[in-house]
Amino acid sequence: MPTPSLQAKRAYYAKVRQSNYTASLRLAGFDTTPADGERKLPSRESLRSAYRCEV
């Protein structure tokens, strides 16, 4: 049996990580849909600008 490539391993672990995250949200009582896993997270800079205090 051939060993899987590095790209295949990364894709597998990304899929498992997303599945585990969705399962943990369900266990915590949040309503989730499969579409929740497909959304991209906001960039770090956009989060910083949203929470930055303007004095």
**pLDDT number for residue 22:** 83
Measured CA to CA, the distance from residue 34 to residue 22 in angstroms comes to 8
- Mean pLDDT on 21-47: 83
Residue-wise burial string across 19-51, b where 16 or more C-beta atoms lie within 10 A, e elsewhere = eeebeeeeeeeeeeeeeeeeeeeeeeeeeeeee
Q: What is the pLDDT of residue 55?
A: 56
Which residues make Cβ contacts (< 8 Å) with residue 12, sequence separation at least 6? Answer: 4
Full-model pTM? 0.56
